[in-house]
Each structure stands twice: as structure tokens, then as C-alpha cells.
Structure 1
């Protein structure tokens, strides 16, 4: 039973992190139909800005240590909004009518540019911001001990998932976004400001990616290349769940997270394989993903 509890809790923690990373990616694709290869860079930017600001805070400030959590979120929000607006207004708005494959190439080029820009700004040395992680202490669940910070990430990811789902399904803005998703031309004819909707959606997606990076920074070594590693896992999650589906991202993250945790505890030699094994099995049965929707063809 101890091993089962460890698998479930570790799987939930890993799934919560996966969902936070994948949420922005699936929001952008769901509305804008852009498979954003640069999403890993937004995660990296959020991690670096959060780690830099919190490191500065603990190195010289004498304020309450719990303010570091506000700094992490503030750094993620500011960096996500600023970078998102610059990229959407300066580049992507001129590419919306282009082929989706070309958009993949453009965002991949953007990933390479942002990775090098991150190295120029923050350097190549790793950043360690352990204080917020250790500040919350640890809890015992049966015979197991877990960091409270990791458990808190489960609650944060649940809040993010609920907020995304409620916004898309229970608000007027969500209904307008769904109209844009179904038929962009008709939405424009009905008076919807599609350019504004696209800009807002992209900024939300980049901000979600930056938040995931900032909240992960205290638990990892923030170093060059973390964005490239993350984007592969994020794609695995959204492909399993179905591109553009919040429900799919949640289920995909849970499926991948718990399967990986089971492999770590029971068969660690296949840990790297199981994520892609799950993706292959799901796509063999449902090529559009578990919650993927069939798109209507225009004739």
C-alpha cells in the first residue's frame, strides 16, 4: 500500500506540473490553431525572471519570506504579458492567414531566438531559488514524506484548470471565443473583434507558460535548455488529451503523470519510454486524442 500511495501522490504532483505547462499551449491552439513551438521559451522566461527576482529578494531584502511567492507570481505575470504582447503584435498578427505548417516553423524559429536571448540576458550559469520550496516545510502521509510546496502545486493546477474551463464554458467571453474557433469569418461578420481575441488569447497562453516556469523554479536548477525539455512533454500531454481541449489536457496530464510515477517506482529502466508509449497507444486508438474534436471541413 505504501508503494501505491507513493505512485498516486507522485503521479498527482507530476501531473499538476505537466498540466500547468500544457495549459497555455492548449489554450493557444484551441483558439488560434497555432501549434506554438515557442511555448517552452515562455516557461523558461518565467523561471528565469522568477528565480532572479526571488534570489535578489533573499540576498538583500529584510522583508517577510512569504512575500517571495508574490514575487514569483508577479514576475511570471509581468514577463508573460510583456513577451506575449511583443511577439503577438510584432510578429504573429502578420502570419494569421498563413498555413499552419508555416506557423510551426515560425514559432520554432522563435524558440531558438528566445533561447539565445535568455542566455544573453541571464547568462549560462544555473539559478538556484530553493527558499520558497523549503519555506513551506514537509508533511508525512503514512510512511511517506512530501514537500508541502509540491502538494501546493496540485491545488494551484486545479485552480488554473477550473479557471480555464469556467472561462471557456460559462462566460460571455468564452462563448465568443468558441464562436471564433468554429468559424472565424462568421464571427468577424457578426462584429467580433477577432484580432483583439487573438491577442488576448496569446497573452493568456504565454502568461500561463510563464507562471508554470516561475512556480517550478524553486524546485529545479534553472539552467539553459529547460524550455526545450518542457515543450516535448507538453506536446505529449496535449496530443494524448486532444489538441485544444482543456479537459483533454487535464486527463492527459493525469494519465501521463501516474503512468510515469508507476514506472519510476516499479520499473525505473523504462521511465523515459512510458510517456511516449502512452502517447503511441492513445493515438493508435484515437488519432485525434482522447478529447479531440473532429473539425468540420469547408467545401
Structure 2
């Protein structure tokens, strides 16, 4: 029983982290049909901004609980800035191009931003462990878990609900779905498609920086973390189906639980289990488990 609970908890914690990273990536693709490879750099920028600002804040002797607000502010501010710069500064000139071209463009942005990060923060590691340890730990059937990791599960579930509610229960969400299904008709009916694209990309960027800022207290923030996570995020959204929020959640849960089972039962396969799961799913469902149906024009 202890082993089962350990696998479930570890899998849920890892899945919540994966969903935070993949949510912005799949949202941008679902609306704009852009597989944003630069999303990994958004994650890294959020992690660096959160870790460095928390360090400055705590060095000033301010109340430790305020570090959580600093993380949130760093994620939102950096996400809005980088999202607007990338979308308004470059991507808006590329709309209508082939999806492969957009992948190459966003991959180039990823490489550029990785160097920008090194110029801005250097190559030394940043540590902001205080928010992680401040919440303490909880014991469950003899197993100890950081409350920060448990909170991450609830935060991911809340974000998933907010995205679903925003897309399905609000007027703007309905308009956005119209853009997703047929952007030309949506523009003809008076919907400002350009503004929808900008808002969607900024929200996706904020989700990426938010994931990085929340992860920063639990890791060593160093160069290269963005490239590592974009591969994992890509695997998750491919399993769940590109453009589907529910698919991203399902893919994160599948990958998280599969990795946890591998770590506890057969650690040697940890590096391969994620790609093994992806290969099995794609063998039977090449479009992913919950891919959004694409309307065919006749």
C-alpha cells in the first residue's frame, strides 16, 4: 500500500508540473496553430525572474510570506513583456505561413532567448529555496511530502478549470472558439482576430513563465532548463492531442504516473518511459488522444 501511494503521489506531483508547462503550449497551438518552441525559454525566463527577485526580496529583510507574491508578480510581469515582444515584434509578420516555417521561427527565438538569458543572468545557478521550505512538510502513511509540492497539484487543477471555464463559459471564450474553427469567417463577422491572437499568445506566455516561477524554489535555476522542459511539454501535448487543454491534462497524468511507476519499480527505464508512452499512443492514435477536430473546407 505504501508503494502504491508513493507512486500515485509522486506521479500526481510530476503531472501537475508537466501540465503547468504544457498548458500554455497547447493553448497557443489550439488558437494560432503555432507549435511554439520558444515556450521553453518562457519557462526559463519565469524561473530566473522568480528566483532572482525572491533573492532580492528576502535579502532586504522583508516578511518571508511575501515571497509568494513576488513569484506571482515576476511570472505575470515577465510573461506579459516577453509575450508582447515576441508576438508583436515578430510572429505577427509570419501569420499565414506554413506550420513548419513557424516551428523553425520559434525554434530560432528559443536559441536567441537562451543567449539573452545568459547575458542577463549569467551562467551561475540561482537558488530560491525559501518559498519551498516555508510551507513545511506533511506525512502520509509514513511518507513525507513538501506542502509546496502538494499545493502545486491544486494550483494545476485550478488553472485547468479556469482555462476550461474561460473557453466554454465566457463570451470571449465563445468568440475564441469561433476563431479556432474558422478564422476567416470569424474575421468576416467582425471578430478582431489579430487581437485574439495577441491576447492568446500573451496568456500562453504567462502560463509558461508562471510554471517556471513556481518551479524555481524547488530546483537549481541554471542555463539549459528551458530546452529540457520543451521536450517534455512537447511529449505531453502530442500524447493528449495538440490544441486540447483536456488532452494536455490527460497526457500529463499519463506521463507522470508512468514515470513514477518506472522510478519506483524499474529506475533504469526512467529516461525512456516518457517516449515509450508517446510511441505507444501515437501508434494507435497518431493525432493524439483528444486532438481537436479540424474543419475541412470543400
TM-score by length of 2: 0.99
Paired residues of 1:53 and 1:71 also in contact (CA < 8 A): yes
Aligned partner of 2:40 in structure 1 is 40
Say what the alpha-carbon RMSD is for the aligned residues: 0.6
SS of aligned partner of 2:144: strand
Residue 135 in structure 1 maps to residue 123 in structure 2: no
In 2, the alpha carbon distance for the partners of 1:58 and 1:112 equals 32
In 2, the alpha carbon distance for the partners of 1:226 and 1:169 equals 33
Question: 1:117 Cα shift?
Answer: 0.2
Q: Which deviations, in whole Å up to 9, do the C-alpha atoms of 1:252-291 show, x marking residues without a partner?
A: 0000000100000000000011100110111111111110
Name stretches of at least 5 consecutive residues in structure 2 with no aligned partner: none
Residue 4 in structure 1 maps to residue 4 in structure 2: yes
Aligned partner of 1:175 in structure 2 is 174
In 1, the alpha carbon distance for the partners of 2:97 and 2:282 equals 27
Question: 1:64 Cα shift?
Answer: 1.3
Paired residues of 1:288 and 1:294 also in contact (CA < 8 A): no
Aligned partner of 1:64 in structure 2 is 63
SS of aligned partner of 2:11: helix
Aligned partner of 1:243 in structure 2 is 242
Question: 1:58 Cα shift?
Answer: 1.4
Aligned partner of 2:87 in structure 1 is 88
Aligned partner of 1:164 in structure 2 is 163
Question: 1:297 Cα shift?
Answer: 2.4
Question: 1:295 Cα shift?
Answer: 1.6
Q: Which deviations, in whole Å up to 9, do the C-alpha atoms of 1:226-275 show, x marking residues without a partner?
A: 00000000000000000000000011000000010000000000001110
In 2, the alpha carbon distance for the partners of 1:124 and 1:227 equals 14
Q: Which deviations, in whole Å up to 9, do the C-alpha atoms of 1:89-145 show, x marking residues without a partner?
A: 110100011111100000000000000000000000000111000000110001100
Residue 229 in structure 1 maps to residue 231 in structure 2: no
Q: Which deviations, in whole Å up to 9, do the C-alpha atoms of 1:25-46 show, x marking residues without a partner?
A: 0000000000000000000000
TM-score by length of 1: 0.99
Aligned partner of 1:153 in structure 2 is 152
Runs ≥4 in structure 1, deviation > 4 angstroms?
Answer: none
1:119-134 alignment, distance < 5 Å: 119-134=118-133
Aligned partner of 1:199 in structure 2 is 198
Aligned partner of 2:258 in structure 1 is 259
Question: 1:164 Cα shift?
Answer: 0.6
Count of residue pairs the alignment pairs up? 298
SS of aligned partner of 1:139: strand
In 2, the alpha carbon distance for the partners of 1:87 and 1:228 equals 18
In 2, the alpha carbon distance for the partners of 1:218 and 1:63 equals 17
Paired residues of 1:11 and 1:258 also in contact (CA < 8 A): yes
SS of aligned partner of 2:139: strand
